[in-house]
Structure 1
Amino acid sequence: MSNHNQKAVLVTGSSSGIGRACGMYLAERGYLVFAGVRKGEDADKLAGLGLKNLVPVCPLDMTKPEDITGAGRTIEEELSKRGIPGLYAVLNNAGGGFIAPLELMDIDKWRRETETRLVGPVALLQATLPLLRKGGGRVLWIQTPGLMPIAFDASIHACDFASNCLSRTLGQELKPWGIPSIQIRCGAISTPSVERSYRELAASMAQWSSAGLELYNEALRKTEKSFRAMDAGRSDPEMIARLVFRALGDRKPKRRYHAGAMSGVSAVMECLPHPLVDRIMEKR
């Protein structure tokens, strides 16, 4: 059945947390949502929600080129079947991150994170931009306040430094077609990845050499205690879903939106000179 006026959105990393919240929120409000997930069991769970506008796309592992090209073909075929002219938006959300000092960081995990957060989104854009042009679309990026480095959290924030550059560069390059590139800057959000990061830290510390662990053990314990103290104040991921809904609906969207616990403070920190921010974070 043709639905020429329905708007279609691709959301990566839809199995849990912000991605899942955004997919459900948008589908419930009339968007056709292509929810990208890596595992079949996660696709089954999304299908089991009974939301007619929520279409799981699986497998979509952002580190696998064949998944990305396959997802592009699947989306194009589904849009054609439904009589929708193009893709209205891509929401780059996939990725997680982990806690570790750079000296002891698992390089394979780090490589996967950079591919998921940086290489994969570029490949996905290459696969979907023709559809975005047809749909009068826009590109959204879920990010933390990435210009504020935090010790032992580089796997997240280093990617956000680079993602910040990618999103702003894309905005310049796509301006001739009127396709905005929008940053959704998230403060502290309550997602399953938070508790998972503590479990992974414990597993990593058990594997590090005694010499390496001795170097960082005290500082890491203090960091975990600080993070856990912040956990009670984390915002619900639906707050970000509402913000994404707003960014999709604004006729003239802003280049940057922010929401979530501590997002306002982080936005101010990003405006300060980098040497000053470095001194503040070192004292912290």
Structure 2
Amino acid sequence: MIVHVRGLDIHVVMNGEDHLPTIVLLHGFTGSTTTWQETMNLLAGKCRTVAIDLTGHGKTTAPEDYIRYAMAEQVVDLEELFERLALDSFMLVGYSMGGRVALAYTTRYPARVSSLILESSSPGLRTEEARASRREADSRLADRMVEEGLPAFIDFWESIPLFATQKTLSLERRQAVRKERLSQRVNGLANSLRGIGTGSQPSYWKALETVQVPVLLITGELDTKFVTIAREMINEFQNVRHETIEHAGHAIHVEKPLTFVTMIEKHILKSEN
């Protein structure tokens, strides 16, 4: 379905009956609701799933002004969207970029979030110096994408070390991931880098201690950068667990979908007890 929110058409995919526990799913950079299809299938009959195309991704509007992609804008969009959808209480799941958005939303609008799952994500960069350096790098990458086109950018994106483990996936699964990435729009991805990249968003490290709901951090053991970040985050949250999945990299829900869903189901049970 398409929901009109603050000048944007936001694409949402909802599955499952209203009485089931609700899980909201936020994808990563170059992703869309499609990335959650297997997760939603595995949760069918157990949960109501709500997958959202974030600003500039999938079938959601891609504004021309990168300021409209800023974290502050996106969390307000989500709040109004949840109000329109009458989602009063849900588990919020975010992967990578979507995890940063999920964390930002939870710190600003905690009332709706019953628990939080962050997959391969971070609270941002700690210092302004680090953020400035990252903004510059992301701006150059966005310019390169506009100049060279989407296929060349996706070739580059798939070659970075962060996604090296995805080369072990079946050909069918690799082709599906690539198809999803190639379905994006250049202006949407470029403005997303400029507007809500890790260097553009605020640092949420100091806000972690304010999160009162149960938190689950999921990382792949081969994704050493984000394993380290998760270990640092553990010391800041009030109520947190960290699960590291063997033989997995950055995108656990793609590489180990059954294990990922099992972690969600266990988290639901622990949160309810």
* Normalised TM-score (structure 1): 0.39
Higher helix share: 1
Higher Cα Rg, which structure: 1
Specify which structure has the higher proportion of strand.
2
TM-score computed with the length of structure 2 as normaliser: 0.41
